[in-house]
Structure 1
């Protein structure tokens, strides 16, 4: 007998796709667009108090004295704590990642003896109003002795002054590996191309800032915590593990959330402090972050250098790749992802990208600095890794006199399954088809002709290409494939009601990605009913379905898999009873368009609603030994790692007088396996690419030499707006996964993963007459103007700026 995959059912019938693949309108939108959403700032509890934080105004200092007596005596103040008050309950949050060379750090809930970055919480105040709390914060009496601020990651990695005493050499991460004969590839190379690429420090800048409400009931020892987190179950675990609240009496509630993008996939000191404060004062407490706090204290992202080199043979094939990533980790490891989340992911997750390279070597480091800790942000690590690989691919194409399409086609993996140098297996993909589709979409010969004509007029346009492959549907298998030991799984509950409608509960929280709609589509097709008859509840409470977190493009894959498995259990119950009612074999019953029908017999059918009613209320309709429950809970964790792929081509024009990068058009190709809902996929692509444009041209969290952050409002921190958003042309390829429900793969991060490389390549293509290549983000007007003013030199493209 054939051995079944642990996630397959025996004799699972084919499911007719009536909803999956169609442009179902988002069910969430009418409520949200008409102002009927309930976000955490909208929630007010009886008798609630308000919380504000005193945050460090200096980057690095030793606290010599702190006196909160004036705060405690202020009108309306119920409580004020410093680090010493909190340490009795929790010494801090340990941050680390189970990868080679990661050194743990402990991040205090409130700073103790030292402050390590501007914005680190030093004291917390609870008062009758937010106004009273913030006014009281001004009354703090404290003295500190400033210490050297470590701001430059290169200097930090080299030794220098210590940024965090827990890391005496400033290295929170240091490791590497080699696969294949890399030395031979470079020793025998006909040509070597190399470069150092910089991705600047940015903020995820979600539309809604962070927020927490805590309510502790002393009589029952029950804690209810509202948080707009992406990981409610992990937060619940941390509350019980670090603070000692009884797990069975803790509920984390996730209201509507206005964007997360990874920033809300961490556990922050504020989330841990508010339960302690609520227990101490015996009243609910509420904290809503303002935008300045968000830019200063919310996790930062992406800042790192990636040094990369390709060994090329005489035919232009890549025979080896060397990559080194150095990340600026900030002051502490931010749990659960740590400083490793950027440099480790950048070089380890896809060291060769889409290219058939036989040998790869990488090293990774994360340096502690006196900046806000770095954490996850959409496309984490993949963006910087893809940025370096794809920009170097364009450098190589120029060096070889090839088009960017031809160089990629010359080196792309052609046959699947394919095993990369690390031993990671890619079961399927449309990597070459992506290149071909993009070239056809942009009409490359016509573009070259237009580019030449415009150059004669003193106008400079450029086309940038970037292709990616992304592990998606973050799972235990994906973790193990990359040498980690993290365990992921999610559950979903599906209930078919007596009138044939269905309720679905999933364990993932929604941040605007349309989970309620796509999960309804998955359930409707499995149950054979209309999508309008399915109601989906995302993870509003940890008392319901379990989830490992809305991270890593997991939603469609993992939640969808759990929904499909649970719905399949219910489906089989319906088929059994329908077969009994129609006097047919269960294997002959199909559920489609609201009917349970006998295959091949046109007039032998009964409505699924009638079958459901019979299961609830009619004993005579049940077959022998039938168990009548129409509710099922199932878990899902993909048994193998899966990979999405795609690419972007971006057309830009450089304004010669201002240096501004004007975006003319974006071409995107996406292969996320079976597309559940094209509208939602295309929305994710548009949003992700525009975030990539922001990270490439507009956004940078800047610091001065003393460690002061200079970008603390949206007047200083530039975000892309719709006036810079160009038209999109999107093409879908579908290479279904061989082992996920309906062949679905994840795609939520793909837009941001590949867009910055396409932007830089487009700008460098436009700059090619000037003989200068840029390699650092952001591409500010000053940098572009400087590049355009540099005379063409014999060094050509290797003259990096």
Structure 2
């Protein structure tokens, strides 16, 4: 069920908009957090996995006798053991042309990527478990690996026999007069882009602890999942554990970025092992396992073309997005989530382009499965759209700001070719503000002066609009299935303190602080009187997951709806005690006050105490329950927008790129906490810089991943972060309580395009144009040398 904006009251913002320090920071920064590896259960065992050393091979023999005989080893399971309980995890995307795959918990007959689990050893310690894995002997009969997605779709060997032609996803749409747009174009700008294969690389790797009590049939599972309620559902759907006897707990989690928004075989295996062995079982992966076997992200090959009229306005777009999906769909998002989103959601962006030819496809390959990672689909789609716009600017001899102004949407509501309605936005204002921030004329003068000295600097621009607050309405707007909603509980104690419980997990986003700010304004209580509990346990409520920039929108909406129930009762009681009209009562600064009547007030503490202990103060037909649980799911899709401009310097002798400064504009509607919003921008942009310049998962010709440590896979650190200048625009949503929009993914969505555009601008006088990321020094030098 969706809920319109009108069901929440108009509340004056006092805490909302303030730079409130994050409440979790003192505990976490002083080492008092409790992460999964910190949890030690009495009698716990440790699991370690034997993983495939071949990218594609038939398993001819698995010998486990030596491992079983090792002192301290309690159990060794192979694929045959796991299949007795579960044939595998089914994955697909509910869109046209998607074909399902089944991922086994442990490979049985065939392995399909390096790192796929083949056996699991459970022992008294992690050390013994690893020694036991070394004693498991697996023989393989090699099969030809399938490694390039577009070659895979042309025929040849199958990467996964469930997909004999390697097509995991294929579909598209033609919208508007595409042929007319291109036949009548004054100029067509086109290119092929490649966005590299990445790892989300959370600071804390994946881990699971399972404990089962056979007397009560109660299963407890600890995992750093972004979707604990989905994990709980899968425990019943795949393994048959009664859902009412399952509890999924999420301790402090050191980052997720989408990688932990999946169901993995390890999360299904450990509950089975705990039940069979009657002891808790724990698994925490090392960094090599994380880079090899946790989902990869973002790799696509994309052909894109824009038709422009004689006034340099874009009139049509053609796009073909091909995803390198890996060996299986990784539920719930699938290998199609990247190319489908790139083709079906992002090609027009903020531009009024009436005609579109959209093709998406995902190929199965013998690599680690692709999954969600911050900015999924949007990053690659924004990269090709915005970089092609800069190519067009050079072709038309216009500034990157002017070329965008020619096509940007100026009036709202606006409907894009896919039929999606955008009710509001600051799209043109974003372009104008970025131009003001960078002082474009002064930059060009500086660029010319430095070129005369042999130094190459460049300016890159990237603007975007993103769907935020993943919801049922958002899915339907994009022709996707699924129901999304969250619940929140707000409870006021007799002393006026408030406990808030939300259905979302938190991985460092500051949810507890922002939700407390929302409640403080709604109930008129100080922040220190509010305790917010994120979903440490699935017994606390329901959440569809910490994904899709939905924290502030969905959790905030549910919190506001629940707190409004408490607010209404406090107002009614205060009106009775103060002999005033409820319409004249406001809750502020710890008291209920009568507007326009100085000195007429009663404290929130006294109101709460009266609810619990003084029936004589109640108005007629008063319900004294100061606790409410309500759900929230927006009735309409919600969109935020923004943009980044970057100045970079390219060293012509080494090919190294340095980011000199970042200019960011963000419009996420009502800003709850500017510090948290700016932290999200900085973190996302630095991730985007890493994707553009540093990070690359590399496979050799046999399908072996060769970037298996952080020495090989280079992620940006704090000393790589450039200076930022951030400006906030506020176009409140007309469809959410408080006008809030999401923004958690925005930094990463647009940053790689800004970097690539800046590099191309720096090299423009050489005739060099790059279309692939990451932009390595070798790539720059090869381009400069022709």
Q: TM-score range by the shorter chain?
A: over 0.9
For residues 79-98 of structure 1, give each alpha carbon's deviation from its aligned partner in whole angstroms, at most 9, with x where no partner exists: 10000111010000000010
In the alignment, is the contact (CA less than 8 A) between 2:34 and 2:252 conserved in 1?
Answer: yes
For residues 567-607 of structure 1, give each alpha carbon's deviation from its aligned partner in whole angstroms, at most 9, with x where no partner exists: 00000010111111111122221111111111211121101
Give distance in 1, aligned partners of 2:560 and 2:347: 33
Report matched runs for 1:160-175 at 5 Å: 160-175=156-171
Matched with 2:83 is 87
In the alignment, is the contact (CA less than 8 A) between 1:231 and 1:550 conserved in 2?
Answer: yes
For residues 81-136 of structure 1, give each alpha carbon's deviation from its aligned partner in whole angstroms, at most 9, with x where no partner exists: 00011101000000001001000000000001000000000000100000000000
SS at match of 1:102: coil
Structure 1 position 8, deviation (Å) = 4.9
In the alignment, is the contact (CA less than 8 A) between 1:16 and 1:592 conserved in 2?
Answer: no
Report matched runs for 1:96-135 at 5 Å: 96-135=92-131
Matched with 2:414 is 418
Q: Does 1:472 align with 2:468?
A: yes
SS at match of 2:607: helix
Structure 1 position 685, deviation (Å) = 0.4
In the alignment, is the contact (CA less than 8 A) between 1:522 and 1:560 conserved in 2?
Answer: yes
Matched with 2:488 is 492
Work out the number of aligned pairs and report it: 786
Matched with 1:530 is 526
Report matched runs for 1:217-366 at 5 Å: 217-366=213-362
Question: Which of 368, 377, 381 is 1:381 aligned to?
Answer: 377
Matched with 2:43 is 47
Give distance in 1, aligned partners of 2:572 and 2:361: 58
Question: Which of 139, 147, 160 is 2:143 aligned to?
Answer: 147
In the alignment, is the contact (CA less than 8 A) between 1:330 and 1:367 conserved in 2?
Answer: yes
Distance 1:13 1:246, change over 3 A: closer
Matched with 1:589 is 585
Give distance in 1, aligned partners of 2:384 and 2:192: 8
Matched with 2:396 is 400
TM-score normalized with structure 1 length: 0.97
In the alignment, is the contact (CA less than 8 A) between 1:770 and 1:787 conserved in 2?
Answer: no
Considering only aligned residues, what root-mean-square deviation do their CA atoms show, in Å?
1.0
Give distance in 1, aligned partners of 2:65 and 2:302: 49
Matched with 1:692 is 688
Matched with 2:756 is 760
Give distance in 2, aligned partners of 1:722 and 1:48: 37
Structure 1: give runs of 5+ residues left out of the alignment: 791-801
Matched with 2:187 is 191
TM-score normalized with structure 2 length: 0.99
Give distance in 2, aligned partners of 1:15 and 1:602: 20
Structure 1 position 351, deviation (Å) = 2.5
Structure 1 position 9, deviation (Å) = 5.8
Give distance in 2, aligned partners of 1:766 and 1:120: 43
Give distance in 2, aligned partners of 1:631 and 1:224: 27
SS at match of 2:451: helix
Structure 1 position 13, deviation (Å) = 4.1
Matched with 1:200 is 196
SS at match of 1:446: helix
Distance 1:257 1:5, change over 3 A: closer
Distance 1:568 1:706, change over 3 A: same
For residues 685-710 of structure 1, give each alpha carbon's deviation from its aligned partner in whole angstroms, at most 9, with x where no partner exists: 00000000101110000000000000
Matched with 2:742 is 746
Give distance in 2, aligned partners of 1:351 and 1:659: 31
Matched with 2:59 is 63
In the alignment, is the contact (CA less than 8 A) between 1:55 and 1:123 conserved in 2?
Answer: yes
SS at match of 1:438: helix
In the alignment, is the contact (CA less than 8 A) between 2:3 and 2:634 conserved in 1?
Answer: no
Question: Which of 686, 696, 703 is 2:699 aligned to?
Answer: 703
Structure 1 position 499, deviation (Å) = 1.3
Give distance in 1, aligned partners of 2:167 and 2:71: 45
Question: Which of 494, 497, 501 is 1:501 aligned to?
Answer: 497
Matched with 2:28 is 32
Structure 1 position 789, deviation (Å) = 2.4
Give distance in 2, aligned partners of 1:658 and 1:8: 55
Matched with 1:21 is 17
Give distance in 1, aligned partners of 2:468 and 2:241: 34
Distance 1:290 1:500, change over 3 A: same
In the alignment, is the contact (CA less than 8 A) between 2:698 and 2:705 conserved in 1?
Answer: yes
SS at match of 2:749: helix
For residues 337-385 of structure 1, give each alpha carbon's deviation from its aligned partner in whole angstroms, at most 9, with x where no partner exists: 0011100011112330110111111000000000000000000000000
Give distance in 2, aligned partners of 1:142 and 1:410: 62
For residues 638-662 of structure 1, give each alpha carbon's deviation from its aligned partner in whole angstroms, at most 9, with x where no partner exists: 1100100000001000112211001
Give distance in 1, aligned partners of 2:165 and 2:461: 39
Give distance in 2, aligned partners of 1:54 and 1:628: 58
Structure 1 position 296, deviation (Å) = 0.2
Give distance in 1, aligned partners of 2:783 and 2:661: 23
In the alignment, is the contact (CA less than 8 A) between 1:650 and 1:759 conserved in 2?
Answer: yes
Structure 1 position 518, deviation (Å) = 0.2
Structure 1 position 6, deviation (Å) = 3.6
Structure 1 position 788, deviation (Å) = 2.2
Give distance in 2, aligned partners of 1:7 and 1:409: 33
For residues 22-55 of structure 1, give each alpha carbon's deviation from its aligned partner in whole angstroms, at most 9, with x where no partner exists: 1000000000000000000000000000000000
In the alignment, is the contact (CA less than 8 A) between 2:101 and 2:162 conserved in 1?
Answer: yes
SS at match of 1:543: helix
In the alignment, is the contact (CA less than 8 A) between 1:7 and 1:636 conserved in 2?
Answer: no
Question: Which of 714, 720, 725 is 1:724 aligned to?
Answer: 720
Question: Which of 755, 780, 784 is 1:784 aligned to?
Answer: 780
Q: Does 1:656 align with 2:652?
A: yes
Matched with 2:445 is 449
In the alignment, is the contact (CA less than 8 A) between 1:767 and 1:787 conserved in 2?
Answer: no
Matched with 2:424 is 428
Matched with 1:615 is 611
For residues 159-187 of structure 1, give each alpha carbon's deviation from its aligned partner in whole angstroms, at most 9, with x where no partner exists: 12111101000010000001111111011
In the alignment, is the contact (CA less than 8 A) between 1:463 and 1:763 conserved in 2?
Answer: yes
Question: Which of 624, 627, 643 is 1:628 aligned to?
Answer: 624
In the alignment, is the contact (CA less than 8 A) between 2:47 and 2:120 conserved in 1?
Answer: yes
Structure 1 position 69, deviation (Å) = 1.4
Distance 1:13 1:479, change over 3 A: closer
Distance 1:296 1:13, change over 3 A: closer
Give distance in 1, aligned partners of 2:2 and 2:342: 32
In the alignment, is the contact (CA less than 8 A) between 2:2 and 2:633 conserved in 1?
Answer: no
Give distance in 2, aligned partners of 1:777 and 1:323: 18
For residues 528-573 of structure 1, give each alpha carbon's deviation from its aligned partner in whole angstroms, at most 9, with x where no partner exists: 1112211100000000121000000000000000000000000001
Give distance in 1, aligned partners of 2:411 and 2:570: 42
Matched with 2:510 is 514
Structure 1 position 496, deviation (Å) = 1.0
SS at match of 1:428: coil
SS at match of 1:410: helix
Structure 1 stretch displaced more, 245-254 or 152-161:
152-161
Question: Which of 719, 729, 733 is 1:737 aligned to?
Answer: 733
